């Protein structure tokens, strides 16, 4: 039975991978509808022939890697369960210490290390791809440093999850998922509060914006929007990437407006102000807090479904998966597997909500700056810097895009300008 499940899993993954290869490279059409040809949204008007070719190539390969990576993680967890590796990790942990917490830490370390080692080739391929297309400028040692930071942060997070969840399972087999969710609420808020001042600085250096004239303009816009910002921060990303970005991070007293130095180096002040107005819109319309609330609601549903599915799967296939009972730590790969599947399934919905919020932020930015040209050229430069498709295939948009497509964003700006002209003529 274990061999059959493993074989079916591998075959399903191969069929899945072949489908997305065919879909991305042969079926999906990312060309512009004819009515947009020659418009500001047409990449042929702002990208040269080489950039157009590279954009299509890079996007297809990157999207294929995305669709292959997540189910590969599922296959990994199935392998850990079917081969008894989860049981081996528990045995090694038990032999190493008599203290329960140390055993949990050792089990989690072996599982994390194995998962990292198996998925490392895909991570390296992704890094090499971005280097070969001149998106990434990061050296291998610098990239490995970030990878190791990721590993230890993920390990620490996973250790907390394992310790808390399985302690709750031992106390309440029926309602552990509810208690786990209740504890996740303050934990999530605490992590978001620490993110800008503890976690982010592990990867990059943050410092106040050097261009004080630009900072004054940004803070003036923030004041108009009733945003209590005192500083704008820049981060040294040029040594890692040629991509452009800006964002608002943190909650409460640790909220920050952050600009990548690549954005400062490649965009004009008007373009940067447009981006800042977009980011301020998220604060004004409380998108961050709406997003937190939505995430917590989805996590409540997700934990409930995970609990129900774990009970069903362990009751039916527990012997094959070598899981004697749900509250045994050997079931943790199953917990991660189900959580990952549910998150992947929910991503089209969460991306839809995110695209709506980003569209609202774009509208706020153009109304605040009243500078259509700055908005259009900003989106064109973002497309060039990231070699992103202006009109990606439907499945890519559903599963990957938390922002509207560049076609949608630029078209919205052009429609705004046309509407304004009509109003002025009237």
Q: Does residue 373 have an active-site annotation?
A: no
Burial label, 35 (beta-carbon count in 10 A; 0-12, 13-18, 19+)? exposed
How far apart are the C-alpha atoms of 158 and 113, rounded to whole Å? 12
**37 marked as binding residue:** no
How far apart are the C-alpha atoms of 218 and 198, rounded to whole Å? 25
Active-site hit among 73, 328, 362, 408: 362
CA angle 321, 325, 328 (to 5 degrees): 95
Structure tokens at 426: 């009237």
Residues pairing with 246 in the sheet: 259
8 Å CB contact between 24 and 60: yes
Q: Are strands 232-235 and 206-208 parallel, antiparallel or unpaired?
A: antiparallel
**Region class of 159: left (phi > 0), else alpha (psi between -120 and 50), else beta:** alpha
Q: Does residue 279 have an active-site annotation?
A: yes
- In eight-state DSSP terms, residue 258 is E
8 Å CB contact between 389 and 30: yes
Structure tokens at 190: 């605490």
**Among 292, 296, 300, which residue's Cα sits nearest to residue 175?**
300
Report phi then psi at 38, rounded to 5: 85, -5
Q: In angstroms, what CA-CA distances link 276 with 28, 91, 252, 319?
A: 34, 53, 19, 56
**H/E element, 383:** helix 372-386
Active-site hit among 73, 215, 234, 279: 279
Residues pairing with 232 in the sheet: 257
**419 marked as binding residue:** no
**Among 344, 347, 324, which residue's Cα sits nearest to residue 336?**
344
**H/E element, 266:** helix 261-266
Structure tokens at 217: 């303009």
**231 marked as binding residue:** no
Q: Which residues are annotated as a binding site for Zn(2+)?
A: 278, 282, 358
Residues designated as active site = 279, 362
The annotated binding site is made up of 278, 282, 358
């Amino acid at each position: 039975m274990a061999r059959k499940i493993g074989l079916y899993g591998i075959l399903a993954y191969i069929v899945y991978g072949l489908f997305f290869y065919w879909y991305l490279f042969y079926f999906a059409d990312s060309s512009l509808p004819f009515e947009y040809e020659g418009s500001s949204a047409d990449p042929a008007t702002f990208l040269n022939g080489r950039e157009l070719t590279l954009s299509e190539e890079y996007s297809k390969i990157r999207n294929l890697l995305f669709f292959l990576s997540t189910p590969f993680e599922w296959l990994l967890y199935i392998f850990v369960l079917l081969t008894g590796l989860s049981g081996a990790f528990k045995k090694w942990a038990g032999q190493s210490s008599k203290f329960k917490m140390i055993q949990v830490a050792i089990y989690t370390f072996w599982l994390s290390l194995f998962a990292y080692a198996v998925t490392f080739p895909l991570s390296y391929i992704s890094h090499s791809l971005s280097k070969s297309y001149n998106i990434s400028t990061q050296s291998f040692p610098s990239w490995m440093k970030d990878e190791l930071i990721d590993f230890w942060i993920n390990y620490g997070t996973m250790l907390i999850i394992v310790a808390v969840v399985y302690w709750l399972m031992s106390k309440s087999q029926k309602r552990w998922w509810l208690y786990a969710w209740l504890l996740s609420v303050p934990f999530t808020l605490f992590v978001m509060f620490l993110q800008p001042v503890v976690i982010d600085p592990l990867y990059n250096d943050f410092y106040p914006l050097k261009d004080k004239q630009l900072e004054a303009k940004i803070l003036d816009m923030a004041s108009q929007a009733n945003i209590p910002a005192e500083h704008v921060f820049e981060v040294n990303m040029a040594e890692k990437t040629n991509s452009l970005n800006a964002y608002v991070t943190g909650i409460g007293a640790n909220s920050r407006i952050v600009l990548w130095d690549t954005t400062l180096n490649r965009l004009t002040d008007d373009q940067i102000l447009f981006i800042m107005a977009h980011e301020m819109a998220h604060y004004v319309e409380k998108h961050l807090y709406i997003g937190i609330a939505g995430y917590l609601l989805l996590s409540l549903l997700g934990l409930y479904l995970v609990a129900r599915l774990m009970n069903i799967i362990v009751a039916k296939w527990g012997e094959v998966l070598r899981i004697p009972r749900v509250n045994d730590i050997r079931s943790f790969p199953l917990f991660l597997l189900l959580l990952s599947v549910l998150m992947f399934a929910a991503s089209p919905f969460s991306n839809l909500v995110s695209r709506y919020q980003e569209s609202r932020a774009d509208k706020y930015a153009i109304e605040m700056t009243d500078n259509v040209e700055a908005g259009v050229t900003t989106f064109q430069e973002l497309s060039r810097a990231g070699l992103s498709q202006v009109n990606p295939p439907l499945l890519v948009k559903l599963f990957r895009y938390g922002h509207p497509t560049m076609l949608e964003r630029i078209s919205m700006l052009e429609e705004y300008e046309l509407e304004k002209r009509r109003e002025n003529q009237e």
